[in-house]
Chains A and B, each alone.
Chain A
């Protein structure tokens, strides 16, 4: 590769780093000039983050939040693929379930938090239920749309093969909608993470959301900001992994 090629290849990284540097410098100025109350300087935040990264608490909280988010996303994926394929496959199922789905999916998932807490208490179970409710719709709707397309293309073939509805579901529709599923899962995981962090901040005393809230209530501001930055990194990593998986599954 010639010099110009290397420079062009590096350009996005250099620009991106410069952007982050400008943002951090702006933050440092705001903190140093005390333009806003309660904004610690970046140096303190990053040293707090370093301190947390070497301790056990941050990793325990991260493990909890990631495990709960992953469980919720996995449950939502199984339900979403089965129900989505069923309503894409059969007009009857669509009529039976369609209106209920279209009502429930617009209910803001945070609204469920108080009810779920009443029924299930302040544990991981509540987190998983609320996360699953939020994560269900992107998977379900993506799979339903993809199954409708499969139906219009392959319905005659499945009829010739005399496949029963259950065989049809598992041998044609579920494998045929893998790419649509993973797109749904990427959106679903992001939503599940938001809801899991939210319920941790509001009620369940565990995970990253609890750490942010706890540090905030104790007015340990550098620690609170360290956890916010860390939560963003976890979200970014989760998103990148799923995006790479999606690209791999959708490769031509």
Chain B
């Protein structure tokens, strides 16, 4: 991560270097669009995108749409955690349950989860529950895998400690196995968060049921291309913010884990 000189000037220079490439890319985009290297109808210049984005943020339904998309992704993720962590515990501790479900689990993990969206659309119809169900279905697998791996790799010493203290099997799970598996579970949740957002957006794009996904599809079908770019930028910001929050939570759980 570069040199640390500690001085104010060094820090400033560091920040400036990091901004060189983004600034150059945006500058290139601006020049390409205004001087007609690319068709400005299809690729509007960044200053117009920024202005449109600002107008939509202050006046329009961009913020409610962003909130709807984020809400669906997070609700689906929460349900996935509630399902996958206990299920992972069961599969990691019972060889029978593990053996029975292993091929099916591998199949669903390898299935590109977006393919089940049309099936869910027929079963539950377009609406809130479609988004949430699809997100749950996509987000369950990485968390399940993280839990199974984490619990299985619990340190033998820790399990011996549990035995010495005569913890019941259930208390050993809650006190030892789950906390020890937490870092791996969190990694699974971080992967699932990215998937949750992708699936929430795909469902919105396909069903047209509110949120940023249907907003961007609608803008495209009306040839409001500046709006398309502005909405896409907002989607990027939502992804960045959610991930930054996730990294912060993950770091905190790592501190809580007893060594």
Contact = CB atoms under 8 A, between A and B. Distances in A.
* Chain A complexes with chain B: yes
Contacts of B225: 118
A241 to B, nearest CB: 11
B20 interface: yes
Contacts of B202: 110, 198, 201-202
Interface in A30-85: 36-39
Contact of A201 (B22, B101, B118, B201): B118
Contact of B194 (A108, A193, A216): A108
B100 interface: yes
B18 A99 contact: yes
Contact of B220 (A96, A114, A190): A114
Given A19-B103, A95-B17, A111-B235, A194 B112 contact: yes
Main secondary structure of the interface of A (DSSP, over half): helix
A39 B235 contact: no
Contacts of A115: 228-229, 232
Interface in A205-252: 208-209, 212-213, 215-217, 219, 221, 224-225, 227-228, 231-233, 235-236, 238-239
Interface stretch (A9-17, A149-157, A163-171, A177-185): A9-17
A122 B188 CA distance: 34
B18 A107 contact: no
Contacts of B38: 119
B115 A212 contact: yes
B110 A239 contact: yes
Given A39-B123, A106-B243, A216-B119, A98 B96 contact: no
Of B121, B198, B228, most A-chain CB atoms within 10 Å: B198
A233 B2 CA distance: 44
Contacts of A11: 99
B103 to A, nearest CB: 4
Contacts of B205: 110, 113, 202
A16 B102 contact: yes
30 contacts: A16-B99, A18-B100, A19-B102, A37-B122, A95-B2, A95-B14, A97-B21, A98-B2, A99-B21, A103-B236, A106-B236, A106-B240, A107-B239, A107-B240, A108-B236, A110-B201, A110-B202, A111-B239, A114-B217, A114-B219, A114-B228, A118-B42, A118-B228, A119-B42, A201-B115, A201-B117, A202-B202, A216-B118, A216-B119, A219-B122
Given A96-B17, A228-B116, 18 more contacts: A11-B99, A36-B123, A39-B123, A95-B14, A95-B18, A96-B21, A106-B194, A108-B197, A111-B232, A114-B217, A114-B231, A117-B220, A119-B38, A119-B42, A198-B202, A212-B115, A219-B122, A224-B119
